[in-house]
Amino acid sequence: MFRDDFRVTGYIFGEGKKALCVVGSVRGNEYQQIYTCSMLIKRLTELEGAGLINSENQILIIPSLNPYSMNIGKRFWPTDNTDINRMFPGYSLGETTQRIADGVFKVISQYDNGIQFASFYMPGTFSPHVRIMKTGFENVEKAKQFGMNNIVIRNTKPYDTTTLNYNWQIWNTDAFSLYTTSTTSLDTKSADQTVECVLRFMAANDMINPQAADMISDSKITPRVFFDKELMTVRPNVSGIFLSKVSVDTAVTRGQLLATVLDTSLGTVLEYLRSPIDGTVFFLHNDPFVYANTGAIKILPEAF
């Protein structure tokens, strides 16, 4: 890191107005996110080669903002353990991660639409969804153009004001975070579905030609729109080995066994985690160990 310039590589398709920027991994362990970005670049390369990208629109794809951390297997910036996604809009005279955020944001804030392939701060598997922050500038109707099952709106908290999604919106970009099923492992099916959602969004906004739009599967889904606070969180009272009995997108009933927590030495059951409501599993902790009071499971109520 002291021997060369720090470079962030982007791939540009089309020309003209800056229509869309897609950012893959921001953290060093977001392997699913960089893989999804690579699959999107592959598809756009094929479309451009066939002359099917609208030449009046420019699309920028950035697979990774943090290749250094990814190269050495660290989630955050290794020298000071800071998170680039907590440094926006950046500061050109600040710490390293602030300077990276500043250099990147000066470029990507010029785009009308922004998509981030995001990851959650806790280890786990999500039901794929679009997430947007409620800033007063959010565009829920445009979020429906992805054709995903769920749109989650998040009320902002003080620490959210330094994230990419928040600052994109404040600087007049329609910003969306797309969550696939995984982060540190690859789910190729989920990645392919996410790429299809991005292409569907591009087709709805005339970024690709009608002939290309005909090659994209049409979504008949009416998405569920809800606030993240409406998810019911199940938390263990003890720490131990976490054994799940359900999977994401599974319908569950009130009182159903969701997981058990085992003693790490004796193998005995310390706690049974049961569903407090009827609904669908939206998020599921996937680490072998779980700690007390961790949000291990999130359930979308049946009413949605």
The model's pLDDT over 124-156, given as tens digits with 9 standing for 90+, comes to: 999 999 999 999 999 999 999 999 999 999 999
Residue 295 scores a pLDDT above 80: yes
The pLDDT mean for the chain works out to: 93
Q: What is the pLDDT of residue 213?
A: 67
Q: What is the pLDDT of residue 6?
A: 86
- Model pLDDT for residues 243-279, shown as the tens digit of each residue: 999 999 999 999 999 999 999 999 999 999 999 999 9
Mean pLDDT to the nearest integer, 12-17 = 93
Q: What is the pLDDT of residue 304?
A: 52
d(CA 73, CA 21): 26
d(CA 59, CA 66): 20
Residue 221 scores a pLDDT above 80: no
For the chain, the DSSP string reads: --SS------EEEE-SEEEEEEEEESSTT-HHHHHHHHHHHHHHHHHHHTT-B-TTEEEEEEEES-HHHHHTT-SSBTTTTB-GGGSTT--TTS-HHHHHHHHHHHHHTTSSEEEEE---SSSEEE--EEEEEESS---HHHHGGG--SEEEEEE--GGGGGSHHHHHHHTT-EEEEEE-S-SSS--HHHHHHHHHHHHHHHHHTTSB-HHHHTTSPPP----EEEEGGGSEEE--SS-EEEEESS-TT-EE-TT-EEEEEE-TTT--EEEEEE-SSSEEEEEEE-SSEE-TT---EEEEETT-
For 102, other C-beta atoms within 10 Å of its C-beta total: 17
Residue 164 scores a pLDDT above 60: yes
Confidence category of residue 1, pLDDT binned at 50, 70, 90 = low
Residue 226 scores a pLDDT above 80: yes
Class of domain 11-228: alpha beta
Confidence category of residue 122, pLDDT binned at 50, 70, 90 = confident
Tokens encoding 272: 């049974």
pLDDT above 70: percentage of residues in the chain: 98
Which sign does the torsion angle of CA 122, 156, 166, 94 carry?
negative
pTM of the model: 0.93
Q: How far is CA 215 from the centre of its chain?
A: 25
Q: What is the pLDDT of residue 4?
A: 80
The boundaries of every CATH 2.40.50.100 domain in the chain are: 231-301
d(CA 121, CA 104): 22
Residue 106 scores a pLDDT above 90: yes
- Model pLDDT for residues 18-51, shown as the tens digit of each residue: 999 999 999 999 999 999 999 999 999 999 999 9
Q: What is the pLDDT of residue 121?
A: 80
Residue 69 scores a pLDDT above 60: yes
Confidence category of residue 90, pLDDT binned at 50, 70, 90 = very high
Q: What is the pLDDT of residue 63?
A: 97
Residue 162 scores a pLDDT above 70: yes
Residue that wins the pLDDT comparison between 210 and 107: 107
- Model pLDDT for residues 269-287, shown as the tens digit of each residue: 999 999 999 999 999 999 9
Mean pLDDT to the nearest integer, 168-194 = 94
Q: Are 82 and 101 in contact (CB under 8 A)?
A: no
Class of domain 231-301: mainly beta
d(CA 1, CA 213): 43
Q: What is the pLDDT of residue 211?
A: 75
Q: Are 13 and 52 in contact (CB under 8 A)?
A: no
The boundaries of every CATH 3.40.630.10 domain in the chain are: 11-228
